Homo-oligomer: A and B are copies of this chain.
């Protein structure tokens, strides 16, 4: 429990309210007259949706970012992605750093709980990670400028470099090109820079912390082991799957040799995990590719990162647990350590609740929206997964949603970013205290 102005808030409630406050401020800023280009109009719903999509680093849009918003509006979107990407608690630390004030003790505890840190002294590591984050984005801007500068002239080139470095590192998914990165699909330099930025941003704090301290500690946490191994496994598997399923992708035909096709397949494997920047229109993806991409978006990235979805550690732990159960073993293990049992419960509950949320969302949207002629249910499901995974790859359904549809997608982006447990705990008002009695135990038949 955290006390602010004599009101006591649980941490999940505070985090949920914090995100809502950021979205509200973003909405107001986007509604300012000089945020919208002359000749365009911004309704409250469009501002709210855009602010939610940016804060939840998703990238689904109702209007074209480049032609609808002024540079001021785009700057608001970039800042919202930065706050949403690093997490707003981290942002509090960052602000303190920038204005060189000592962190208040209450803020320290908030940061600590928000980032699952063991003690206050570790906040030193957080400041290091924040500095590193900003450095990477600065470096990203410079490296992108090497291409965008000559291509667009220095003013526009610098602005594009800055915006897309943030969008890539924070896995925000917004772009100023109208067709994401499709213009650059045969440019290996840009694709590599973007890939590195995306991967760097999707590691999450705990992994960064472990990697930074590895030289000193010579030991990685079980979390980092699991996150890196699951991530690498999914990555390799995804490249192979896309090389097979998209061998006939019409948009690439005649444009590239096998080398560029491999680079694009790697990019295809990276981006649905949470980034959402794409090198071609996903409406051309094969049926197998679509279903696999939905799966990747559902899984999402590393917890504590900018990613949505149910997270790689969840899927990794569940796989280890399932194999252990099916082999008749008691414990799921990795790197000579076993997982805490309540972690497994948390992972399994998360999967189940995520499935219910997605099923309900699909059902509501299928019943209330005017569906596309082509593949109505598939396209709808894809958009739901893109919102829940805060991936933001769109097949064009989002732009045509009615009010209820927009609200559902916004709720999915919010849950995807803030986290099922955080949102559910604030709704259910979880009481950690147990009833003083336990009922007698009895088994049932399962499966």
Out of B314, B322, B338, B366, name the residue touching A439 (CB < 8 Å).
B338
Contact B443–A303 (Cβ < 8 Å): no
**This chain's copy number in the assembly:** 2
Contact A424–B377 (Cβ < 8 Å): no
Task: Fill in one digit per residue for A428-443: 1 if any B CB lies within 8 Å of its CB, else 0.
Answer: 1011111100111111
**A431–B434 alpha-carbon span in the complex (Å):** 36
Out of B326, B333, B442, B443, name the residue touching A349 (CB < 8 Å).
B326
**A318–B319 alpha-carbon span in the complex (Å):** 18
- Tell me which of A227, A313, A342, A447 has the highest count of chain B C-beta atoms within 10 A of its own C-beta: A447
- Looking at the complex, which of A30-38, A72-80, A185-193, A288-296 is the stretch in contact with chain B? A288-296
* B contact residues around A347 at 8 Å (CB): 446-447
* B contact residues around A339 at 8 Å (CB): 441-444
Which residues, 264 to 306 on A, are CB-close (under 8 Å) to B?
A: 286-288, 290-292, 295, 303-304
- Looking at the complex, which of A46-54, A132-140, A351-359, A400-408 is the stretch in contact with chain B? A351-359
- Looking at the complex, which of A88-96, A144-152, A168-176, A218-226 is the stretch in contact with chain B? A218-226
Instruction: Bin the interface of chain A by size.
Output: 35 or more
**A339–B438 alpha-carbon span in the complex (Å):** 11
Contact A421–B447 (Cβ < 8 Å): yes
* B contact residues around A127 at 8 Å (CB): none
Out of B343, B421, B442, name the residue touching A444 (CB < 8 Å).
B343
Out of B245, B420, B424, B430, name the residue touching A367 (CB < 8 Å).
B245
Whole-angstrom distance between the Cβ of A303 and the nearest chain B Cβ: 4
**A167–B8 alpha-carbon span in the complex (Å):** 61
Cβ of A348 within 8 Å of any chain B Cβ, yes or no, is yes
Cβ of A235 within 8 Å of any chain B Cβ, yes or no, is no
Cβ of A166 within 8 Å of any chain B Cβ, yes or no, is no
- Tell me which of A313, A380, A433, A441 has the highest count of chain B C-beta atoms within 10 A of its own C-beta: A441
Whole-angstrom distance between the Cβ of A15 and the nearest chain B Cβ: 13
**A367–B439 alpha-carbon span in the complex (Å):** 50
Asked, given contacts A303-B447, A378-B377, A445-B304, whether A353 binds B366 with beta carbons under 8 Å apart, the answer is no
Which residues, 188 to 244 on A, are CB-close (under 8 Å) to B?
A: 204, 206, 221-223, 226-227, 241, 244
